[in-house]
A and B are shown apart, each in its own frame.
Chain A
């Protein structure tokens, strides 16, 4: 008992350090969970959330009533899988490249340049994309015409958009993920590389046998966290960049844009809460699942 008390006393500074984060998460992430009940109510703000009548699962119906329910779920999940896999691979690649730049000033310039798109609003990105893809005066069509090809109406054919959106997304996010990887690569002890050099390992062997294994925990953490976002999508990317064009819905409609379009005129709070709840629950289950799987494979790498 005495020992435990002493242990607790010793930990007090850590509890104090933990306090701000605890309060932050309590206020921003836990208390709003009270709002989950809105998903099961016909919300009227004048009656108050508590006094609004319960309606069971009615609010969830619109998510599954559409003939496109499968399509939007597929789009959301597939895009996220592609973004997750490509994002990690390219993030690692760019991170390693950046770590090999020996000139400090140059490294900083490259990092900033690669990070810049991440800071850009999707509204601006949508204009940039239009400058490239516009049928009449877009850069791409101008090049195609000069090369003797025919101008393509990019905004009329859904088939192009999985590629366009992936490229834009990777371009926008690569800076951030590469910086995360760079920071963990920088944290690797130089001694490993020196020893490897002495043993005659070339660059590729060093990367394969030192860098990659040592950044595995970072990769796994990012993947598990990414699983939680599986049912969410970047609204700006899917709504603004295709310019809200109906003809592209087959490949650009995701759960978030679907919910927005469905409820824009209805203004039904209960239904939007239901959509958010559904996304969160599936995301939560996916995180648990991914963690369970990784735990099976390697206990140390699992998050919890």
Chain B
């Protein structure tokens, strides 16, 4: 009897596992359609110009990144947005508010479980989303986002993966450039003119002056995001920025407008020079790396004077707000140009599960051209959350008694909204900032690898191993913790052992194929 009981228990166990497995399988079959199916059903409809008056109402779920403090009157603003979208497209938008800090877990989960999320941004998971098939190829629906394509111009290619359009970059500062922001008051007190600094040697001199004058402060600080010189991807020989192509930086384009040769950055003279600066300057005490505090917070607290920051026309206003002091910027390549490479962080993607991609893209298109929607999302409702100071110039101010901390609708993440250029500017900031940004975007050098994305499938093992080597040495070298004289060699030996040559060869062959296809 007891034996029989055991058998029954085992059988029950097996049965429940089988049921569970079947449920999983069934679940993925019904809720998660393959991209090809959705495109096939969607492709049947006709172009947007053909007007069919009675449109079915549609609800689109759209990701809205927040800083974690969700605005109190979000519902009010959503209703106002919907008034516009329903009238124009009979489409209702529901915003899924996600804090940037939760992005990885929440959005990953929503997409993998097939929860409805029609429009989203990929951030650092963009390539992983692509590899998992969450991104809908939208080339077939080009007429529905024609306005966006017009606005983006050459930057439309940022949303391409191997010549197929998968996403649409939001209109903001898309080119890449790097600067160091300094506390304005202190460099003036020290009689430093940033315009006269032409290279890193002269930068060192300036930092030395600051060190002498303010011995208690760090002249150039690194923070919890990385060491002081951590994000400066500079080719010193050709005076240009490097295109890292993917975040790992394993195999880069050293001179991205001229040569498509994939190179190991960590074996170049430019990296050695940067590490040498980090090593020497750390010993001198003119740079330091506080791994627990943000660099902007250090400036705010009065323990640091400057830090590295992405350069764009809006930088000074943004950095000043972040660090609580008026800042001034020095572009780290005073004579080099900004680089337009693959920028996909804030690209808008359409879910491959979406039932009606045409109407989703139509909605996105409206959001790129409708100033009212953009300002509702960026600033809230006029008269309630802000007041217009100068309508022509698009300058606004908070109502009396309100500031960023207490206004019932405030969105820190304005940059993530579809079209930044339509947003009002807060009084006191440069009212021409968006015009300047547009011009600056257009003036940037375009990398040969724009629109190229690496398929890491074949080299996943090597990338995994090399990632660890990079984690071990890169920041330690750029943070001045390791002596470049001996450690760079060890670094590269470890990369070799990890298979960086295979990674570079694979990337090179993929890039060559991409360029050949693009040329035709």
Contact = CB atoms under 8 A, between A and B. Distances in A.
B456 interface: yes
B20 interface: yes
Interface stretch (B24-32, B149-157, B262-270, B377-385): B24-32
Contacts of A47: 28, 34, 133
B461 A1 contact: no
A5 B472 contact: no
Nearest to B34: A46
Contact of A265 (B20, B32, B132, B247): B247
B132 A44 contact: yes
B72 interface: no
Contact of A264 (B20, B111, B467): B467
B460 A268 contact: yes
Contact of A1 (B1, B35, B111, B462): B1
Interface string A241-284: 00111110100010000100111111110010000000000000
A245 B472 CA distance: 7
Given A30-B13, A45-B112, A61 B461 contact: yes
B69 interface: no
B273 interface: no
B137 interface: no
A249 B498 contact: no
A70 interface: no
Contacts of B301: none
A42 B460 CA distance: 11
Given A44-B133, A127-B292, A246 B28 contact: no
A296 B114 CA distance: 53
B471 interface: yes
B124 interface: yes
A31 B17 contact: yes
Contacts of B28: 45, 47-51
Given A30-B13, A34-B17, A245-B476, A271 B464 contact: yes
Contacts of A102: none
Nearest to B499: A65
Interface string A112-144: 000000000000001100100000000000000
A66 B465 contact: yes
B497 A67 contact: yes
Interface in A153-201: 153, 155-156
A257 B32 CA distance: 33
Nearest to B462: A65
B499 A46 contact: no
Interface in A41-60: 42, 44-51, 58
Nearest to B27: A48
A26 B125 CA distance: 33
A264 B132 CA distance: 15
Given A58-B461, A127-B292, A265-B124, A68 B25 contact: no
Residue of B125, B131, B247, B481 with most chain A CB atoms under a 10 A cut-off: B481
A121 B369 CA distance: 47
A8 interface: yes
A84 to B, nearest CB: 26
A48 B23 CA distance: 12
B197 interface: no
Nearest to A31: B20
A62 interface: yes
A47 B37 CA distance: 13
B47 interface: no
A104 interface: no
Given A26-B13, A266-B456, A48 B133 contact: no
Contacts of B464: 62, 262-263, 266, 268, 271
A229 B21 CA distance: 28
Given A8-B2, A243-B292, A46 B13 contact: no
A51 B499 CA distance: 30
Contacts of A262: 464-465, 467-468
Ordered nearest first, which 4 A-B pairs have the shortest CB separation? A48-B28, A267-B128, A262-B464, A246-B476
Given A265-B248, A265-B467, A266-B456, 14 more contacts: A7-B2, A62-B461, A62-B465, A66-B497, A156-B481, A244-B291, A245-B291, A253-B472, A258-B468, A261-B467, A263-B467, A264-B467, A267-B131, A268-B460
12 contacts: A8-B2, A8-B5, A31-B16, A44-B133, A50-B21, A50-B25, A50-B28, A246-B474, A246-B475, A262-B464, A266-B463, A268-B460
